[in-house]
Amino acid sequence: MSDRVLERLVKSFMATDQPQYSFAWQGGEPTLMGVDFFRKVTALQKKYGQVGKVVTNGLQTNGTLITGEFAKHLADYHFLVGVSLDGPAVIHDTYRTYGDGRGSHADVIKGVNHLAENKVEFNILTLVSRSNVRKAGEVYRYLCDNGFYFQQYIECVEFDGSGKLMPYSISGEEWGDFLCEIFDLWIKGDTRRVSIRLFDSIVLKLVDGITNCCPMGTDCRQYFVVEHNGDIYTCDFFVQNDLRLGNVMEDSWQAFLGHHAYEAFGKRKRQWNRECELCEFLKFCAGDCPKHRYSKGLNPENISELCAGWKQFYSHSLKDFEKLANDIRRERAQAAQKNGVSSFEALVPAVPPGGVGRNDPCICGSGKKYKKCCGAVKK
């Protein structure tokens, strides 16, 4: 991305009216741009930032290029970093190799160590592929034994031109087996020690009725993708000509929001198969990511490739999740009683460091204005 495009991106985005400005840097491999690129990023955010507004940055990386200097800058500006690590070296190095065939695991660990030394907040992103789908327990124990307690497991589902799964991809049944094995290890005694993004999202849905991850939502309009040349797309899984919304150098964010292709793309999520309407787990999977429905053409009514796995997992785990949710509700009520506040006050999220305007959307995700929701508690 050129300096000109970068400045236009940051300047125009931060001129919009939002309580919080979130940037997620990924690729490809974003650290190939070098630490100086990210120094420009934060300098521009400071230059065009508004008083009282919050700016957040996320970085998704393979970790191999993270140096001490790089990590320090990430720490100074509170980046949240996601590092790709698929398990111990024998697993990770199956697919994550350099051009000369060398495995990258050792360099990833060096990068992670730099992050830890500089107190950068990071989590581990584990791609569940042919290399590790039958080794769930081994992967989970490896991550926990190394102190990696913030984990996200990402299903590898890619199709060839004929709609068949690529050789490194996993099936729905395998995904279900993997999740069930991870869950059984986690539920035994790690629910308050290990954060697994999917599991956290399920608990949040049960306890507070909030959906906080894209696949569980009913509308795919979650963010914009900005390519290196400033082109804007609807989703990083669908960077294709018919879903190009414009270019940041020429068009406004309001125009992108109102683009007919963006609206139509968002509505696809709810155009699930009729069988989904009869499924008891629809409120959790929402038909799954459209990317997993397109093995037989671009029809959102196709059943997800992972459907059988999701059903297996929720059938296996939901009763325990509901019990955990009840435990959390009871603990909150007890904490509220002990502190002399209402149970509602006990649920109010912390206000971001930059503060929240009274007319801004509430930080709890209710959709109400802050003054009419969590902000009303302080009156």
Catalytic residue list contains 184: no
d(CA 157, CA 171): 8
What is the SS3 assignment for 191? coil
Beta bridge partners of 42: none
Question: d(Cα 269, Cα 267) in Å, to the nearest integer?
Answer: 5
Nearest to 37 by CA among 14, 9, 18: 9
Least Cα distance to 6 among 17, 33, 16, 28 occurs for 33
Task: Return the closest-CA partner of residue 300 out of 280, 278, 274.
Answer: 274
Pick the closest to residue 306 from 319, 322, 320, 287 (CA basis). Answer: 287
DSSP helix/strand/coil, 377: helix
Cis peptide bond prior to 297, omega within 30° of 0:
no
Sequential DSSP letters for 105-140: HHHHHHHHHHHHHTT-EEEEEEEE-TTTTT-HHHHH
107, 208, 236, 320: the catalytic one is: 236
The Cβ of residue 335 has, within 10 Å, a number of other Cβ atoms equal to 12
DSSP string, 315-343: HHHHHHHHHHHHHHHHHHHHHHHHHT--H
- Which H or E element spans position 188? none
38-51 residues labelled b (16+ CB within 10 A) or e (exposed):
bebbbebbeebbee
Q: Are 132 and 169 in contact (CB under 8 A)?
A: no
Q: Which positions are annotated as active-site residues?
A: 236
